Structure 1
Amino acid sequence: MTREQPGAPESATATYVYAVCRRLDPAALSGLAGLAAGFPVRTLPLGPLAAVVQHVPAAEFTEDAWQQRLADRAELERCARAHHEVVTAAAACGPTVPLALATLYRGDERAQQALGADRDRFAAALARIEGHAEWGVKVSLPATGPEAPQSAPPAPPRNGGGAGRAYLERKRGLHQAREQHHDRALRTAEDIDAALSRLATATRRLRPHSPEMTGERHRVQVLNAAYLVTTAREKELLDVVELLRRSTGAEVEVSGPWVPYSFAGEV
């Protein structure tokens, strides 16, 4: 979210910050549109480090303006893509700490003061992620197992007796089968996470997406995680993922390599 309100006349500009990195050749940022047409994406010195920044019209980047963007999915996606494009360009030249979307300051001097105060933290983060990339892994399994069919058990017989006991036993059995299926799914997720964590320098478990978010009504996401992996182990990671697909029968979706957004803030 916005760090500072520009608080300036409509003709004034604010300083939008994309990332912090080590010294960067400005040519790597040439031609990037960023978030504001007509203003070049550039570097701003922070002692031994540099911020990747851009002037933006202050009146168009107020808190109210960002709230409107948040409410407009297409506009929010455009901003996120533009932000990511700049961060990716910087990261192609070396370790880069991406800052959150809508990180704004009243001007270059204020940005230098605020970011410079965190220079040691940025330096530690850059050292931590150097030579690494982020990989995302999502694991999904069928929502129900073969022993727990979608159809409900038959209605209890009216006469009770042995038939009633049989009904209760069947209902209890279905409940136990669902619990066993759930437990197996969780164990599968833990086994996959443990196998991938052994290859990673750091890991982060994220909240699994609900069926409403994934659009998959017949499958449930049991693992949503990010792994910080050295470039030397990327092929090994992909090979292990393929082995896990075959051995577990789970749907394992892997994405990457990404700029390590999930780990850049950790020191």
Structure 2
Amino acid sequence: MSDAVAYAYAVVRHDVEGLDEALADVVGVAGRPVHLVPQGPGSGLAAVVSTVPAQDFQESALRRHLEDLDWLETVARAHHTVIERLSAHTTVLPLRLATVYLDEDRVRGALREDSEMFTRALDRLTGHIEWGVKIYVEPRAETAGPVDPAADDGLGVGRAYLRARRAQRHSRDEAHRAAHQAAERVEEIGEAVAVGHARHRVQQGQLASEPGENVVNDAYLVARENAEAFRAEILRAAEGLSGVRVDVTGPWAPYSFATLPGTEPRAPDQAP
């Protein structure tokens, strides 16, 4: 095996003016420069590629690295930097994180083999962007601080404690009902405006970096001309609802809508 392999970030149309220049100063995975690998004469497709050390991306090493969150985060950030630079210039079909080939001839072979599929996907995504939509539950009783059993109001410590716990549960239940209403509003807006809707797993544990409980973690594919109107409508979905927050992230390249056989691109705010 060579000491380097080809890391593929995305598939794009090769005939986009200025694309080579746009990638000229882009640094990809492992600090390597990025370049285009055209499918070949008569084709309008190209893969966006950089060479990376084989020792880090051969199968056995990659399995070990996939358990290393710091390594994954570094690779994911570089991967998404390349995708976002591309998306400022053209429609991008992102590939799965750590998609590697033995060499650039194998990359060209993959482009030839799946040329029709790649072309259809690029056609479908042209002129569209992705918005991430998250809904969080933030019940008031949970954010007001711990229960104080000494504040018994004449009821006794035990009864005061139980009353406070019931108030917490009631607040939580009310917030979840409100979140359900917000989710219904978001879906109605999506059905009216978006052309695609993808559901992601809610973020928990180490992935839950934002305050509150994440109960919806979705993505919507929206035409560029409707993008800002869609975002504004979504941000109003929680109006009048207590204990609920709606966040919108993006715009992103259409990560969530580029899934192809053998590829599983993740949204930029998902864990790799």
**What is the TM-score normalised by the length of structure 2?**
0.75
Partner of 1:129: 125
Structure-1 separation of matches of 2:166 and 2:80: 51
Change (3 A) 1:236 1:60: same
Q: 112, 116, 122: which one pairs with 1:116?
A: 112
Q: 49, 56, 63: which one pairs with 1:53?
A: 49
Change (3 A) 1:143 1:266: farther
Structure-2 separation of matches of 1:60 and 1:212: 25
Root-mean-square deviation (Å): 3.3
The alpha-carbon deviation at position 56 of structure 1 amounts to: 2.1
The alpha-carbon deviation at position 30 of structure 1 amounts to: 0.4
**In the TM superposition, what whole-angstrom CA distance separates every residue of 1:19-39 from its partner, at most 9, and x where no partner exists?**
1000143111102221244x5
Tell whether 2:101 aligns with 1:105. Answer: yes
Q: 163, 176, 182: which one pairs with 1:188?
A: 182
Partner of 2:10: 19
Structure 2 gaps, min length 5: 148-164, 262-272
Partner of 2:269: none
Partner of 1:203: 197
Counterpart amino acid of residue 237 in structure 2: L
Number of aligned residue pairs: give it. 242
Q: Is the 8 A contact 1:145 1:181 kept in 2?
A: no
Structure-1 separation of matches of 2:206 and 2:57: 32
The alpha-carbon deviation at position 185 of structure 1 amounts to: 3.2
Structure-1 separation of matches of 2:210 and 2:74: 26
Between the aligned residues of both structures, percent identity stands at: 35
Partner of 2:157: none
Change (3 A) 1:42 1:175: closer
Q: Which moved more, 1:94-103 or 1:56-65?
A: 56-65
Larger Rg: 1
**In the TM superposition, what whole-angstrom CA distance separates every residue of 1:52-79 from its partner, at most 9, and x where no partner exists?**
1112232332123223332332222111
Structure-1 separation of matches of 2:258 and 2:206: 30
Q: Is the 8 A contact 2:197 2:221 kept in 1?
A: yes
Counterpart amino acid of residue 24 in structure 2: S
The alpha-carbon deviation at position 174 of structure 1 amounts to: 9.8
Partner of 2:85: 89
Change (3 A) 1:243 1:106: same
Counterpart amino acid of residue 104 in structure 1: V
1:5-16 superposed matches below 5 A: 8-10=1-3, 13-16=4-7
The alpha-carbon deviation at position 212 of structure 1 amounts to: 6.3
Q: Is the 8 A contact 2:140 2:171 kept in 1?
A: no
1:93 aligned counterpart, secondary structure: coil
Structure-2 separation of matches of 1:9 and 1:57: 9
1:1-267 superposed matches below 5 A: 8-10=1-3, 13-23=4-14, 24=16, 25-37=19-31, 40-46=33-39, 47-143=43-139, 182-210=176-204, 213-214=207-208, 219-249=212-242, 250-265=244-259
The alpha-carbon deviation at position 246 of structure 1 amounts to: 2.2
Partner of 1:168: none
Structure 1 gaps, min length 5: 1-7, 152-170
Change (3 A) 1:109 1:81: same
The alpha-carbon deviation at position 241 of structure 1 amounts to: 2.5
The alpha-carbon deviation at position 137 of structure 1 amounts to: 0.7
